Structure 1
Amino acid sequence: MALAVGLGRLARRGGQGLLDALLPPHCLACDQPVLDQGTLCGGCFAGLHTIVAPLCYNCGLPFEHEGQGEDELCPACLARPPAFERARAAFLYNDAVTRLILPLKHGDRTDLAGPLARWMAAAGSALLEEAEVLVPVPLHRRRLFTRRYNQAALLALRLGRLAGRRVLPDALERVRSTPSLGPLGAERRRAVLASAVRTRPRAAPRLAGRRVLLVDDVLTSGATAGACAEALLAAGAARVEVLAVARVADPRSAPPGH
């Protein structure tokens, strides 16, 4: 048995060596050569800003210093607690993470889902440990037809594989197309998203009483995640938490489409 395992590892290393010889490893975000496939060069990695404490317990908004939030909550969550319990993200949204997210969303770079999911898994390890079911934020069918895939679903599937958790890729659906939320404030976002998301009836039995982890690429004001959480809770989910690749520190500087 040990011999078979050893031979399998050697075969995998040999296959990877052949792949590297035919397609030399390049940075995921630029054309700089790197040592291993699926990694970033030093410059691109240095541009990523990992989100660490202190941060808002509910929405994951990073604080500038300890004691900034009241009861570990940001002013927005104190004024209006979100439908989800906790939201976390791997990185602060900036130009460096944009060079990874936009190609995944709009450039057919589906290979980026794996590395991004690994960073998400590290940032959201506590959420993944408690989650029973993973559900991606849905796209409206017209946008899905144009894009051909849902980047949040790709991330959820990769995360489910890493964490050994069940994934329901079509548990939610957008029943109404919504405009770009980028220029809108938090209240207007919530109004636009009202009744835009619902749980598919066939998914409800698989959500009832479950702790659900909602997966998305970018978390901005939390309005989209909140609308999805409300739909999941209405279907009987016991709790909803959120895990994203990146978190926008200032929703007023939201990227297009969020």
Structure 2
Amino acid sequence: MKTIGKNIRTSLGGLARSAARELFGVLFPPVCAGCDKHVAEPGSLCGTCWSKVRFIEKPYCPVLGIPFSHDLGAEIHSAEAIADPPPFTRARSVAVYDGVIRDMVYRLKYNDRTDLSRWMAGWMARAGRELIDDCDVIIPVPLHAHRFWMRRFNQSAELARYLAGTSKKSFEPEALQRIRRTRQQVGLGLNDRLANVRGAFKASSSQEIKVRGRNVLLIDDVYTTGATVKAATRALKRAGAKNVDVLTFGRVLGDELSV
């Protein structure tokens, strides 16, 4: 009888949750993450927005993840990776940072659309599956305390939190600190970006044990010139990280740095 009662309670609980989801869907129907048109599933894009996304898929540079127009072989590196090898091992991104992808990042960062982080992280999980499988710990690029206070949340930490939760990896948002207040990178050229974040990061002395000898996956929302993730990687390496990979949602390609 106890088993029957338990099964009944479980079934009723499931029905109640299902009814609650249906009611929520009626009151707050899901909308496109790019343009707010009604869609069938939360966190999805309408057909028009989906067609505009330029997903980054193979073939691409095995180091920087820059897409190639032709498959030149798995070990062929991009000119950028050869001329200026990064301190991290691999970088991967979901899609080119323009149009819909830019709008999604903007909504997450500046319009308090933290609900988007769950769906964006899901896309990142698919784009960076190999990196996630190989890592021991997931760490977001941190905000300076002042900017965190102004924004109230760290978008990179929200993405990292969902990635760690779904992959069952260790999530360590306090392992890396931004110790120097920097200007926003938006609108800065390459040299200014590099100078802006030089020495801006440090692994927390009390948290170094969570980094030392481990494979780290560093999470950020957008890869522009790589200045930020390179500076953060160097700080993690100084703390003893064995390896650092980078995973972002958007990736700027070409000479456009006004993001």
* Structure 2: 5+ residue stretches without partners: none
| Cross-structure match for 2:38 | 33
Distance 1:160 1:134 in 2: 6
| Cross-structure match for 1:15 | 20
- Count of aligned positions: 254
The CA deviation string for residues 4-54 of structure 1, in whole angstroms up to 9 with x for no partner, is 766555443322111111112221222211112222211112221110011
Deviation, structure 1 residue 71: 4.3
| Cross-structure match for 1:107 | 111
Distance 2:170 2:185 in 1: 30
Max Rg structure:
2
1:76 to 80, 88, 91: 80
1:2-151 alignment runs, 5 A limit: 3=7, 9-67=14-72, 71-151=75-155
Paired letter, 2:153 = Y
Paired letter, 1:127 = L
Distance 1:129 1:155 in 2: 17
Larger deviation: 181-190 or 33-42?
181-190
Q: Is the 8 A contact 1:89 1:123 kept in 2?
A: yes
* Structure 1: 5+ residue stretches without partners: none
Deviation, structure 1 residue 83: 0.6
Q: Are 1:221 and 2:225 counterparts?
A: yes
User: CA, structure 1 residues 17+65, in 2 after alignment: closer, same or farther (shift >3 Å)?
Assistant: same
| TM-score for both structures, normalised by structure 1 | 0.91
Structure 1 residue ranges, 4+ long, deviating more than 3 angstroms after superposition: 1-12, 182-188
Distance 1:116 1:49 in 2: 15
Paired letter, 2:115 = D
User: CA, structure 1 residues 65+182, in 2 after alignment: closer, same or farther (shift >3 Å)?
Assistant: farther
| TM-score for both structures, normalised by structure 2 | 0.91
Secondary structure of 2:195's match? helix
Distance 1:149 1:243 in 2: 19
Q: CA RMSD in A?
A: 2.0
Distance 1:211 1:9 in 2: 40
The CA deviation string for residues 168-202 of structure 1, in whole angstroms up to 9 with x for no partner, is 11211122222233444434432332111111111
Q: Are 1:234 and 2:238 counterparts?
A: yes
Secondary structure of 2:207's match? helix
Percent sequence identity over matched residues? Answer: 38
User: CA, structure 1 residues 184+22, in 2 after alignment: closer, same or farther (shift >3 Å)?
Assistant: closer
Larger deviation: 180-189 or 210-219?
180-189
Distance 1:164 1:102 in 2: 28
